[in-house]
Each structure stands twice: as C-alpha cells, then as structure tokens.
Amino acid sequence: MFGVLLELFTGSSGLVWTLLVLVVAYYLWNRHQRLKSLPPGPTPLPLLGNILNLASGDQLETFSKLREKYGDLVTLHVGSFTMVVVNGYDTLRELFVKHGDVTSDRPDLFVFREITKGEGIVSKSGADWKTQRTFALGGLRDFGFGKKSLEGKIMEEVEIFLKILGEKEKQPMHPESHIQISVANIICAILFGKRFEHSDPTFIQLMALINENVSLNGPSGLLNIMPCLRYVPGDPLGCRKVLNNADRIIKFLYSMIDGHQKDYDEENLKDFIDVYLKKINKEGPNTIFTRSELMNTIADIFFAGVETTTTTLLWAILFFLNNPDVQKRCHEEVMKVVGEGRFPSLSDRSQMPYIEATITEILRCGNIAPLGVPHAPSEDIMFHGHLIPKGAMLLPNINSVHSDPLLFPDPSKFNPSRFIDSDGKFSGTEHVISFFFGRRVCMGEALARSELFLFLTSMVQRFQFTPEDPDNIPPIKGTLAATLKPCAYKCRAERRD
C-alpha cells in the first residue's frame, strides 16, 4: 500500500496528485476558518446540518433557548443555507438600519424563485428592487395609500362587515372569512378599482387558495432547504399543492390585468394596475416594468395587505374574549369621544389613547410575524466580531423583542396600560416592531394602522364580543405558518343597546 501511495506522489502524475491534495486541503482549511468566524451556534450534523434543531416543535421557543445559550447572533446550517438568527432590539436595529445598505437583499429561496421568478417587491433585491418599490409606493399613494382619502374606502367595508355581524347577532360564528374579505376589498379597491361581494364564489375560492398556502407555509417551507422534496410521492408536505395553488392565484391576477388592458384609458387611470400599465407603455420594450413584474407586485401587495391585518383583527377579538375589562374600557373611550350618532373617524385617533394602546398591545402579544421576512447580505460583512457571509439567510427574530421582559415586564400578560404614561397619554411604542424598520420596513404600515383603528373602534362601538360558551373561553394559542395565526375559535357578537 505504501508503495502505491509513494508511486502516486513521485511518478509522472505525482505533481498532479500533490496539487489536488493541496487544493482540497486548502479548501477544507479555508472552510474551517470561515466556519470558525461565523456567529456561534449548535454543532451541525453531517448532511443534516441543524435541521433537527428546527424540527423540535415550537420554533419560537427553540430560538429563545438558543439565544440564551449563544447570544443575539445564532448560526444554524440548514440544507445549503447558512442561517443567522438575529435577536434583540439593539442588535436588530444595528444590523438592519445602521448596516441596511448591505443587509436588505433577499436570500435565494426556492419557493420564492419558483413562484415569482425573482420578480415583484418581496423577493427582489438590489437596484431593481429599489426602483420597483419606489414606483409602487408612488402609484399606491395616488390612490390613497397613507392618506386620509382612503378612509372612505375603509369605512365602506367596515359598515358592510358590521351589517353582517348584525345579521348573525348572538349566533356562534367563525369571524375569519368575513374579516378577510372585508380587508381584502380595501386592497382590491386600490389595486383593481373594484370590490367583491362576500358571497362571490370566485373571490371565495381565491381566498381559500391563499389560506391553504398560508397554512402549508411551515411544512412546504422545507422546499427552500431541500427542493427535491417536491418529488416525494403523495406530496405529504403539500409542496406541489402550494405550487399548484400559486398557479391558480396567478391566473386570477392575470385576468385582472387582462381586463384592465382591454379597457385601458390613459386619460382616466382608475387604480394601481392602470398606473403600472401606463408606466409599461411609457418605458417601451427594454424595461424592468413588465406584465409579469406587475402581476408579482400586486400579488405581494395583496397578500401582505390582507393576511397581516386579518390576522391582527382575529387576535383582537380573541384578546377581547379573554379580557372583557379591556373591551369594556375600549367601548367607554369610543363612547366618550364619538358617542352613538356617528362612526369613529381617523380624526378621533389622537383623543383615544387607550384604543391606540390596545392596538399596540395586540400587535405585540399577537406577534403576527414573529420571524419577519428573511434578509440576506449583499456582501460578506463583519458584525460584532463575526463573519456573516454574502447570501446567508438573516432571520430577524421579532419575537425576541416583543417577549423581552427587560422591555415589557411580565411580557406574556395582555396589558394595554403599559403604553399609557402617568399623564394618561399613549407612549412607549418604540420597541413594538411589527412593521419592522430599515429599508424593508412594511410599505403598508399607514394603511394597516388606519384599518385597525377604524375596524376596532367601530366594532366595539356597535357590538360586544363574547365567547360561544362563557364557561369555555377559547385559549390564547396560535399556529406559526406564514404568520402567527390564532387557533380557530367561535364567538358571538351582541349588538349594544
């Protein structure tokens, strides 16, 4: 054996073998040095990496324990990804605001790539993302985004929703579907220039497809780590189901675009699609503004605008069921400021500190997007003495802030009064980061806050929400998928005298 090895390294091919061994040795040494430079984390297993750490059940609890052991930066190896979980308010703000110029890209995730082809706003990175986002914000503002002029559209849906509550008065009901369609119609008015009836079968089917994909987000997310799972017989993780549902959602959105192109009038722009079509026509063929970019952009806006606000309102009702004293105090404040003769208005907001505090506490305790949306560095960066490599998945652990007892004493307790100062004013909201910060701050924050205020104040003004069974109040539990959604529950809405 020794003779064979000696021949390999001293014969005519010896130089080639020597160089090969040196190259492999250098690669392994360099990889070892880079791994040593990464933030600390649990030791990865061969082939599996740290996937078992993430398969232990409650991801939020897992990340909390990892933070206790390793600190604010925790490295995990999953599939081909190096994942860095970023914890703590100060660390999150420093990495994504101070270093936002190099930490605002998106990682190359299979599901995003397969569905969006890298287009739209959410999954795009770099200069094209900035261009698309800037244009989209301008187009949305043209139709009321972030402006008081949108209040009328919101209130139209609020009144329809309250009418439905009245028709179902005192009957046990699941509130989700009607809340979701009401919220979706506000986005539809901006994007499509139309609304859909709550009984519209096409729209109900669209919402069902979206809901199914949201519920499958957790298991199908494994596709991002191991894309080969989509070929597993029987589709046990719902991977192919997610992709098929996405195709049907895309067809619906293209049908909206087709209808707008057929009736397009440059002198009469009715909605966001018309504004984008005008941009396409103006730019010509060699442009980043295309039909497919438009489709993916409206998909991003629609999903983000509907899912998060719907989920927040579902948490709101659940917290009211478990905290009737909070619901009572909200009602009293609305009656003091508004009375019975009219609906609440955005102009009333400054006079309702307890309502604002309650909304903020719902956002904190509901923790709608506890792990945010993954970011990626556009280049290798050194941060807190550690290397974070280009393309790594940066996971912002928003839950680490919202559940921090140093920021929020007794964090598991639902207590809106923590946001009321000694003068009775609304304050202390800096550390509630549901809409995140930095370059990827949520585009729809102003709209979402307006929706939450108008829906909640109008709901408690007209109705009292009670459990289906007073002796069996639904627990404050959620399931983590695309968002942290409360477990399904029933309630009753009783009209106030």
Report the share of the chain in percent with pLDDT over 70.
Answer: 92
pLDDT in tens, 123-161: 999 999 999 999 999 999 888 776 777 999 999 999 999
How far is the C-alpha of 92 from the C-alpha of 102, rounded, in Å?
14
Residue identified by tokens 């049908």 is: 255
How much is the pLDDT for 35? 63
pLDDT in tens, 336-385: 999 999 999 999 999 999 999 999 999 999 999 999 999 999 999 999 99
Q: Which residues contact 75 (CB under 8 A, 6 or more apart)?
A: 38, 39, 40, 41, 82, 83, 84, 85
* pLDDT tops 90 at residue 233: no
How much is the pLDDT for 27? 44
How much is the pLDDT for 16? 57
How far is the C-alpha of 161 from the C-alpha of 297, rounded, in Å?
27
Q: How many Å separate Cα 396 from the centre of its chain?
A: 11
Burial 467-477 (b: 16+ CB within 10 A, else e): bbeeeebbebe
E strand or H helix that includes residue 10: helix 2-10
Closest CA to 162 of 152, 144, 148, 175: 175
How far is the C-alpha of 106 from the C-alpha of 378, rounded, in Å?
9
Reduced to 3 states, what is the DSSP secondary structure of residue 66? helix
Sign of CA dihedral 482, 444, 181, 357: positive
93 CB burial (10 A radius; 0-12, 13-18, 19+): middle
Q: Which residues contact 455 (CB under 8 A, 6 or more apart)?
A: 154, 158, 161, 182, 313
Question: Per the structure block, which two tokens stand in for 43?
Answer: 């030791």
Lowest model confidence (mean pLDDT) among 26-35, 149-158, 231-240, 269-278: 26-35
How much is the pLDDT for 394? 97
How far is the C-alpha of 482 from the C-alpha of 486, rounded, in Å?
12
C-alpha separations of 271 from 147, 190, 391 in Å: 15, 6, 36
Q: Is 442 annotated as a binding residue?
A: yes
How far is the C-alpha of 82 from the C-alpha of 393, rounded, in Å?
6
Closest CA to 38 of 82, 81, 72: 82
How much is the pLDDT for 481? 85
Per-residue pLDDT band for 6 (boundaries 50, 70, 90) equals: very low
Per-residue pLDDT band for 5 (boundaries 50, 70, 90) equals: very low
* pLDDT tops 80 at residue 223: no
pLDDT in tens, 8-36: 445 555 555 555 555 555 444 445 445 67
Mean pLDDT of 267-289: 93
Domains defined for the chain, CATH in brackets = 108-378+398-495 (1.10.630.10)
How far is the C-alpha of 339 from the C-alpha of 329, rounded, in Å?
14
How far is the C-alpha of 266 from the C-alpha of 277, rounded, in Å?
9
Q: Which residues pair with 83 in a beta bridge?
A: 76, 393
